Amino acid sequence: MADIHISVDKGRCIMSGNCTFVAADVFDQDDDGFVELLTSSVAAENAENVRDAARRCPGAAIVVD
Ligand code: SF4
């Protein structure tokens, strides 16, 4: 299975922190609370928590493809 690619739009991030709870190995928050990516790709078989984070993001700031 191919890796999935993750990107974030900090301009849409409203600093809720949901993504860091759902997928702490992929998302972090910077000192101001904005999302920071720890990695831009994960193996497809480990992608469900990343997709879940994208669904739960209130700013629709996370794109998974
Ligand atoms: S869930 Fe969305 S709005 Fe909340 S910190 Fe993560 S990227 Fe930002």
Return the CATH number at 50.
Answer: 3.30.70.20
pTM recorded for the entire structure: 0.94
User: Looking at residues 32-50, what average pLDDT do you find?
Assistant: 94
Atom of ligand 1 nearest to the CA of 27: 6
Calculate Rg over the CA atoms of the chain: 11
Ligand 1 and 37: CB distance under 6 A: no
Ligand 1 and 22: CB distance under 6 A: no
Looking at residue 7, what is its pLDDT? 98
Structurally, the chain folds into a number of domains equal to 1
Token representation of residue 14? 């409203």
Residues 6+ apart with CB under 8 A from 56: 18, 19, 22
Atom of ligand 1 nearest to the CA of 12: 3
Domain span at residue 33 reads 3-64
Q: Could you identify the residue written with the tokens 């949901």?
A: 18
Token representation of residue 29? 């928050």
Token representation of residue 43? 């193996």
Looking at residue 62, what is its pLDDT? 98
Token representation of residue 34? 């904005």
